[in-house]
Amino acid sequence: MKRATVVVGSNWGDCGKGLLVDYFAGRSPWSGPTVCCRFNGGAQSGHTVVTPEGQRHVFSHFGAGTFTGGGGASHTYFAKHFVCNPILFWREAEKLKDIHRAVPLAADPRCFITTPYDMLINQLVEDARGKDRHGSVGVGFGETIERSQYPAFRLMKSDLGNRDTIKQKLRNIRNSWLPRRCQQLGIRRLDHGDKALSDHMLDRTVDAFVAFDNAVITAGAEFLEHKAIVFEGAQGLALDMDSGNFPHVTRSNTGLVNVVPLARVLGLSLEVVYASRCYLTKHGAGPLPGECKPDPRWGDSTNTPHPYQGELRFAPLDVPSMMERIHKDLKQAPLSQWSVALTCTDQVTPVVENEIADKIGKVRYRSTGPTRDHVHADKH
């Protein structure tokens, strides 16, 4: 049975998933292409990769294995639970313009599509919450999920093949869903003279959506066949929508729930790697047990202060709680091989690192720096 690797965040995200996906994509023994399968989340995720040559990028749509992989740059597949944001996709593609045209991308026809109106609602409501913010990034992910519960306002990848359909759906979202949703959330109805609500903006959005459809193949799970697969999770288990941490959660399942059905269809066995720094981080509102001032060695250049999430927060790693989350997630695929990857080990003392590893008991990978060359696997 063919095996695929799954990278899952163990805590609140920001745990080195990009580094690990890049590592696994680069070491695949498969002679053919490697594909990074984005199975949850959307453009709100930011997976940082630094190559050994010094190239750096924070991936939000493109798989974090894009810079490497068997047979050349890795492919990217958006599974049905990934939410595509064509506007932000093109911003990222511009940053990757030297390679993105050579990277095959595909999306399940059922992928939901974020519109500028979802982003607008998201930012307005988060601003209105003031000190009671939920911790959203403000790119419309949760609002897309909410809108898509109503068939009349749903927009999927399969809808993007027809320009007239796109325009009709966008106009309906702008003219009907937007004021309705704003009223639900207690947000004032916007003046239709606003730039974001103009016909010019609508036409530009249609152009971006058509271009996205042309750049990203519409395909089912067959796209994953005959390729080495790295399933790339977003956020972390503590942010799972069923974690019990509402409202400070993401509107997706961050663990194995979305992976298992695909693995069954493709006849895959899974090696699940749960990623964690040697300390806890949280970017956004909500409780963080044990929150403290960071050690001077903690932190990174990706998680700079954000207008909606504020500054990155820190706490010592709570191993028992993390392991409870991991074992709960493994119930979705009890026969899977699994281990923990400790990242940022260079930011703690060897004594602290070893104490954490002893408590976990299943540490197989450790990183001592930002690139795939800094990831070391336990030979035992």
Model pLDDT, residue 189: 60
- C-alpha angle 348-352-356 in degrees, rounded to nearest 5: 115
Which tokens in the block code for residue 37?
A: 């399968």
Q: What dotted CATH number matches 2-108+219-279+316-377?
A: 3.40.440.10
Q: Where in the chain is the domain with CATH 1.10.300.10?
A: 116-215
Model pLDDT, residue 211: 97
Place of tokens 């999770």: 233
Query: Could you tell me if 111 and 43 are in contact, meaning their C-beta atoms sit under 8 angstroms apart?
Result: no
Q: Where in the chain is the domain with CATH 3.40.440.10?
A: 2-108+219-279+316-377
Q: What is the pLDDT of residues 197-213, one digit of tens each?
A: 889 999 999 999 999 99
pLDDT averaged over every residue in the chain: 89
Residue type, 306: H
For the cut 80, the answer to whether the pLDDT of residue 373 exceeds it is: yes
Which tokens in the block code for residue 75?
A: 């492919």
Percent of the chain with pLDDT over 70: 89
Q: What is the rounded average pLDDT of the residues 108-113?
A: 98
Q: Which CATH number fits domain 116-215: 3.40.190.10, 1.10.645.10, 1.10.300.10, 1.10.3720.10?
A: 1.10.300.10
Reported confidence tier of residue 99, pLDDT bands at 50, 70, 90? confident
What is the C-alpha separation between 248 and 316, in angstroms, rounded?
20
Reported confidence tier of residue 136, pLDDT bands at 50, 70, 90? low
Beta bridge partners of 343: 277
Which tokens in the block code for residue 13?
A: 């995200």
**Positive or negative, the Cα torsion across 315, 319, 321, 325?**
positive
Q: What is the pLDDT of residues 164-197, one digit of tens each?
A: 999 999 999 999 999 999 999 888 766 544 777 8
Beta bridge partners of 36: 76, 230
End-to-end CA separation in angstroms for the chain:
23
* pTM of the complete model: 0.92
> What is the DSSP pairing of strand 75-78 with strand 34-38?
parallel
Model pLDDT, residue 353: 96
> What is the DSSP pairing of strand 312-316 with strand 279-283?
antiparallel
**Positive or negative, the Cα torsion across 240, 341, 85, 228?**
negative
